[in-house]
Chains A and B, each alone.
Chain A
Amino acid sequence: MSGAPVELEAGPRGLREKYPRFPWTVMLKIDVARRGVRPTAAFLERVQSPDYDGTGASQLLFQWHQEEFKQDYRVPYCFFFRDGTFAPIRLSPPERRPYTLDADGDRLFLADADGHLADIRIPPRAKYYGAETSAGRPMNLIGYTKTFDSVLFVPNRYCHYFSKQEQCLYCDIVPNLQLQRKRDRQVATRAQAREVYDVVRWILEHEPRRWRHICITGGSDPRGAVPYDDEADHYVEICSAVQRAFAEVTGGAVTRWPGWLLCSPFERRHMERLRDTGVMNWGGNIEIMDREVFARTCPGKAHHLGFDRYRELIVAAVEVFGRGRVNTGFVAGGEVSPVGFTDWEHGLDSTLAGIEWFAARGVPSWSVQWSIEPGSRFHAMGAVQPPLEYYVRLYWGQYEIMRRYGLQMDLFCYRDQSQSSIDLYRLL
Chain B
Amino acid sequence: MTMDEDLQRLINAKGAIAALATTGEDGAPHVVYKAVRALDADTLAVPEVVETSESGKNMLRAVWEDRRVAVNVLEPATGKSVQLKGAVTEYVFFGPVFEEMFERLDPVTKTGVAGVWLVHVDDVRDNSLGVRIAAEVERHLRVYWERTPHFAPYTR
Contact = CB atoms under 8 A, between A and B. Distances in A.
Contacts of B89: 82
7 contacts: A24-B64, A83-B64, A121-B92, A148-B93, A149-B114, A209-B110, A210-B102
A209 B91 contact: no
B114 A82 contact: no
Interface in B13-60: 25, 51-52, 57, 60
Contact of B112 (A124, A209, A415): A209
A124 B94 contact: yes
B60 A415 contact: no
B93 A415 contact: yes
Contacts of A338: none
Interface in A90-126: 121, 123-124
A251 to B, nearest CB: 15
B110 to A, nearest CB: 7
Contact of B90 (A83, A147, A212, A427): A83
B114 A426 contact: no
B95 interface: yes
Contact of A23 (B25, B64, B90, B93): B64
Interface size of A as a range:
20 to 34
A84 interface: yes
A84 B51 CA distance: 11
Most buried by A among B64, B93, B114: B64
Interface of B is mostly: mixed
A-side binding surface: helix, strand, loop or mixed? loop
Contacts of A147: 93-94
B86 interface: no
Interface string B44-85: 000000011000010011011100000000000000000000
Contact of A210 (B64, B95, B112): B112
Contact of B95 (A24, A84, A121, A426): A121
* Max chain B Cβ within 10 angstroms of own Cβ: one of A21, A148, A212, A408: A148
A351 to B, nearest CB: 24
B110 A149 contact: no
B46 to A, nearest CB: 13
B134 to A, nearest CB: 40
Contacts of A149: 93, 114
Contact of B93 (A21, A24, A84, A428): A84
